[in-house]
Structure 1
């Protein structure tokens, strides 16, 4: 039997999506959980200025909590975070809305440290369509945005994107794209979950799949445990292979009802898109500080050390190096 604690302590632990409430308590919990690095959301419905304001706030967090977190703009920063016992923070968007109608903003945000951008969040924007409405596919402007993201080295994320738009982004992109946080509809039918065909399509084209544990999308809902999460990861690996699958928890730690109301309404305030009901993370990994329990569960399920290391972080590092070029 593998020593789960020793393995967790010296492995790269990477979370492909965290949208928690940023504060020192959270950063301390990241340290407790041994989190090496994470894609951290700084834009959902915000436009250019609102997103800039969020990045300014995150820069203040870097300054005030430099004993716990460091910015990540290249994969060597992830290794640096591990060596220093800190958590590396990648700035990420869950919507291309912040680019507004200016292709030049893509490079501006790259220079500010943004490394992963989702093309649409649940509904239509200038780039394409989200998963909660009729999918019109990738727009002509969207093709230009994808090309510019490829050029500057920002990864295209399709987690909340409609199926046709996703296919067209995958086909248009010259760099690997990802579902940073998704679950398979083969285990539970839901507009946010991806079919076996969608998972195979992205994997066959050098894409990446981060598996989420967001309870409303799991087979057993709020009754799920960390074992159910590992089952979902294995389901995806059976389709895509273990070299292009990783973790993307979608931790929302610290947020209140008003935050979820904002997420589940179009543009943050307009028509209601969905109702998640009660939200509680799977038993055993309810907080980021419980991340070691995930590694222990993988060991319990008979995963090899190589498979655990790849899925817990190495796969993410490899694909980001390809997209970022460093």
Structure 2
């Protein structure tokens, strides 16, 4: 089976996209053969604003139902594959929307949210992000982890501090993930994870989605799809071929004001980081170029079975474990 046929046949899951949601993007998802994606609907927003975002996303899914299916269960991902559509998983990049109400965890699960990152770069009521001194998981945070386990929402630790991450991994009775990260073994960066951290999450049944966000890659904005494959291979060597997948962190369609919002604490306070120019790796600049990744993996010696695992089957298995189906 050649790369084109394999990509067309495989389940392709992107563990994190935070793009500008519109028809043009959804058409590009279809062009890229994307079976499903974890789509961010909350970062700095509170409960009410996050609900408003979900209302908006529900309407977009309805308006573009020829291209999209809303995902609540892993069976919906398989259904999307059969229908030639893209499944939209709702995800948060911050648990800020839970506010101080444990009951909101169930509310958001009922609305279709399947993955929630515990913190985004800085401290919240649950724990600490990767850009601050890490105080670890709060006692309220332990309650939130238990409640997320109970209702079936996956804990994401991508932007979370090292100590808080370790304590969530130990606290959770279900697999947790770094939905989108890169190894600091290839480039030192506050957002990248050490070999030890990657080994620890994998050793406790967790999952690693490898991102291609250029500022975190070895060659920065000069990176190519081959640099991305190198990072995937690096993580597989540490975490194992069954616990690694894709989490691109596509920001397609967004302009500078969006990145200003993302890189300031709570969207408006102190600056946390400055990405500079943002250009995706050559060869996978847009979601529509996703088939190039399957080709690149094969070119770098990945077996057909391993390509299938990394491109989506691993995500599908771990999501079923957390969601219960």
Instruction: Verify same fold: TM over 0.5.
Output: yes
Give the SS at the match of 1:91: strand
TM-score by length of 1: 0.99
Cα distance per residue 1:270-296 (max 9 Å; x no partner): 000000000000000000000000000
Q: 1:299 aligns to what?
A: 298
Q: 1:161 aligns to what?
A: 160
- Residue 9 of structure 1: how far off its partner (Å): 0.1
In structure 1, what is the Cα distance between the partners aligned to 2:3 and 2:62?
33
The Cα RMSD (Å) is 0.4
In structure 2, what is the Cα distance between the partners aligned to 1:99 and 1:222?
35
In structure 1, what is the Cα distance between the partners aligned to 2:275 and 2:303?
35
In structure 2, what is the Cα distance between the partners aligned to 1:50 and 1:283?
35
Report runs of 4+ in structure 1 exceeding 6 Å deviation. Answer: none
In structure 1, what is the Cα distance between the partners aligned to 2:4 and 2:297?
12
Q: 1:212 aligns to what?
A: 211
- Residue 184 of structure 1: how far off its partner (Å): 0.1
Runs of 5+ consecutive residues of structure 2 not aligned to the other structure = none
Q: Quick check: 1:46 aligned with 2:45?
A: yes
In structure 2, what is the Cα distance between the partners aligned to 1:65 and 1:300?
35
In structure 1, what is the Cα distance between the partners aligned to 2:240 and 2:172?
21
- Residue 62 of structure 1: how far off its partner (Å): 1.1
Q: 2:102 aligns to what?
A: 103
Q: 2:13 aligns to what?
A: 14
Q: Quick check: 1:269 aligned with 2:268?
A: yes
Q: 2:287 aligns to what?
A: 288
Q: 2:318 aligns to what?
A: 319
In structure 2, what is the Cα distance between the partners aligned to 1:7 and 1:217?
29
Runs of 5+ consecutive residues of structure 1 not aligned to the other structure = none
Q: 2:130 aligns to what?
A: 131
Cα distance per residue 1:219-246 (max 9 Å; x no partner): 0000000000000000000001100000
Cα distance per residue 1:81-122 (max 9 Å; x no partner): 000000000000000000000000000000000000000000
- Residue 302 of structure 1: how far off its partner (Å): 1.1
